Amino acid sequence: MAQQLKKGMYGEEYNQTGNLFGLRCGQHRSIEKITHGSGWYNSVGEKIGWGDLSVKDFERISEELNFGEIFIVLSEYSSYWNFLTKSRVIDDSTGLELKKEAPGIDYVAEHAIYLITKNHLFKIDFSGNEKKDFLNHNGLSFIVLKKNDVKNFITV
């Protein structure tokens, strides 16, 4: 099955070029909004688009996503402001400058807040203190994934 999630597939800023899963680059949601201005990435750390995501967006992505693909969600800060407010964002392990359009798997794994796969939703536990394996949020059931396990999950 062909890869659905490709770098820049939704366009740039408000220049929208795609609508897979009913998403539009720069979209705003007001009903059942889960994220605000989040960045959307594929499993190789390439930005595919950005905007608010609602409950229905999470459900649709999970239902329509190809098996083996991962839709990765970063906060607005990690996917936009972090690159805007610093003159350069440097990868700690390589010393190389990261680009907001494709910061790479290490950056995306470090900053992911949600992962979406075929028929599964994951919420990242940054604190490591979450005692539950599952969380219900806005009527959705999320599998809790520890922050330290994100990179392994994405690269397997």
Least confident interval from 14-23, 65-74, 101-110, 113-122: 14-23
- Largest Cα span, the chain: 42
Half-sphere exposure of 77 (CA within 13 A, CB side): 2
- Identity of the residue numbered 102: A
Residue 66 is predicted with a pLDDT of 93
- Identity of the residue numbered 22: G
Give the global pTM.
0.86
Residue 42 is predicted with a pLDDT of 94
Highest average pLDDT, of 66-80, 85-99, 111-125, comes from 111-125
Instruction: Express each pLDDT in 55-69 by its tens digit.
Output: 999 999 999 999 999
Residue 62 is predicted with a pLDDT of 97
Please report the DSSP string for 18-68 in residue order. Answer: --GGG--TTB---SSEEEEEEEEE-TTS-EEEEEEEEHHHHHHHHHHSPTT
Residue 8 is predicted with a pLDDT of 79
Residue 5 is predicted with a pLDDT of 87
| Average pLDDT of span 40-45 | 93
Residue 117 is predicted with a pLDDT of 97
pLDDT interval class at 154 (50, 70, 90): very high
For residue 39, is pLDDT > 80?
yes
Which position has the higher pLDDT, 30 or 3? Answer: 30
Beta-bridge partner residues of 41? 47, 72
Residue 2 is predicted with a pLDDT of 61
